[in-house]
Structure 1
């Protein structure tokens, strides 16, 4: 007898939950079942066909008659649980043609829209605390081709201030609800009507943005929430007392970056439409889309960019006032004037010293 290798045990007093993260099944065990499972984990040969608990554990797939191959995984168990646990969307019936898919998807959307949707926008801020951004500027017709060719990650910034107009253009084309697309498609439900320049899973626009302003004309330094429906920002907190690099995994070459954007995910929006944990992947996919859009727009504006997923989550949550909420930071991207170097001067000096 063998123990299923794809089990994850969660303590839930007065018992425990055994979750088979590969098959997406879970079982609640009381003290008797949990104690017996512990014995069998210690020694599977204790399995007794006359013990009803043993047979029920076998029937539940917690125990297996034959050994299940457990492929080598090069990272830790947590990443393996996440990857396998979000695979294979459960589907009772796979549509056989586009007509069946249309009916099935419409039924799903109708069921979702019958429930209360999470708030689409941030709470409206009082006019006194809101900074309305100017209209975004136009980019040259050939700017996309040039931006794709010129975009690069830079780690050496001059600290020169950015203009308010550039910030407005960046935010509108990255996270803004595009006014130009207000009449795009009259078949879209009102709750899902807002459109950005980047794709979003289910049209939910589950990602949001917080600006970290260090040196921007006409915007006092601080952390600001972006309101895409109003194309405005509101102050959330002052800048952290420690330098930016302390917050971003010790990457101090970025301390004088004039502008940064924390991309967050509103998990409650994803939970509302998609009940399966696979939707968690879509939050990161959407953050990636937005990050690339930000970088391309910044490059088209003549700025260089830098990005990272290395930051102190709990500290960032505190600075963004997101502690304990369903909105969480996923990624950081910033921009400013740079000398165009991929490495900071300190790293270049170190490389020269090592190679000497």
Structure 2
């Protein structure tokens, strides 16, 4: 007999919990079961067909008859657990056609919307809001989508030149704002307000789980600081003054980005995702939606003639502290920024090293 390789064990006093993350099954083990499992992990040949605990392990797929060949996995075990553990959503019954699917989905929506709706924001901010000017699409009317796609690139060389609050307003509205230009689709329930807001990018379940926090260093018409964006009002709240900690320190030492005039931390509201989707597969959607939002930001910034940069390398604890999100179900996942520069893919310091290396000096 062999120990199933797709298990992990959690300490949940007074029990151990064995979790088969491939099959989405969990088992609480009494002390005699925990002790026996430890013996079998040490020496699987001790398996005894007359031992009822061993038979229970077989029936629970904790012990398997034949070894399971693991796929070649170069990352660590955590990433493997995440990937395998979010595959194959458990489903009592898979609908066989649209006529079976429709009433099941309608019932799901009604069940979800009968429970309390997650709050618009997890944290309370000052009532005084900085209202942003309505977004004008005039500056973007003559910009070709094809040319914007071709022109978008990642820059790592920014100047001290400021961007305007008007550009920030356009970026936020078209990236995270609830678009007035889009009419609400007909909702199949009597709770349209909960899922009526529409952004420029798709969102799992229409939940708009992403939020935005501005890192403002050099924007004309806006004091330096960290701000929360309120998409329902197209307005800002000051979270805190700009910290002494340089931006590069918050982004894992990428100090070439310190001159960046403006950036956006994109967070995900896990509580919104839990509200509608009570399974771990929804965790994937947090990152998918973040990608949609970041691409919208990059495209709008490019259309405005700005250079762009992006990263997922965050000093998470520092960023959570900066945004006031410690120990909450809202977590920062990504950062995008824009400004003026020469458009170089690499910063001057790195290019100087490359040039010296190429010249042999």
TM tier, smaller: over 0.9
Q: Tell me by how many angstroms 1:256 deviates.
A: 0.7
Question: Using the alignment, how far apart are the partners of 2:231 and 2:122 within structure 1?
Answer: 9
Q: Tell me by how many angstroms 1:146 deviates.
A: 2.0
Q: Tell me by how many angstroms 1:141 deviates.
A: 4.0
Q: Tell me by how many angstroms 1:61 deviates.
A: 0.7
Equivalent pairs, count: 355
Match in the other structure for 1:115? 115
SS for the counterpart of 1:282 is helix
SS for the counterpart of 2:219 is coil
> 1:302-338, CA deviations, whole angstroms, 9 ceiling, x for partnerless residues?
1010000001101100000000000000000000011
- Indicate whether 1:348 and 2:340 are aligned: no
Question: Using the alignment, how far apart are the partners of 2:236 and 2:351 within structure 1?
Answer: 38
Match of 1:301 among 300, 304, 307: 304
State the superposition RMSD in angstroms.
Answer: 1.3
Match in the other structure for 2:24? 24
Moved over 6 A (4+): none
CA contact (8 A) 1:223 1:238 kept: yes
CA contact (8 A) 1:258 1:335 kept: yes
Q: Tell me by how many angstroms 1:164 deviates.
A: 0.5
TM-score under structure 2 normalisation? 0.95
Structure 1: tracts of 5 or more residues without a match: none
Equivalent runs, 1:179-198 vs 2, <5 Å: 179-185=180-186, 187=188, 189-198=192-201
CA contact (8 A) 1:174 1:196 kept: yes
CA contact (8 A) 1:121 1:229 kept: no
Q: Does 107-116 or 281-290 show the bigger shift?
A: 107-116
Structure 2: tracts of 5 or more residues without a match: none
Equivalent runs, 1:223-262 vs 2, <5 Å: 223-262=226-265
> 1:176-215, CA deviations, whole angstroms, 9 ceiling, x for partnerless residues?
0111124443557320000000000000001111000010
CA contact (8 A) 2:184 2:198 kept: no
Question: Using the alignment, how far apart are the partners of 1:160 and 1:153 within structure 2?
Answer: 18
Question: Using the alignment, how far apart are the partners of 1:350 and 1:312 within structure 2?
Answer: 26
> 1:71-120, CA deviations, whole angstroms, 9 ceiling, x for partnerless residues?
21111111000000001111222212112111111111111111112113
TM-score under structure 1 normalisation? 0.97
Note closer, same or farther for the CA distance 1:34–1:41 as it changes in structure 2 (3 Å cut).
same
Match in the other structure for 1:277? 280
Match in the other structure for 1:148? 149
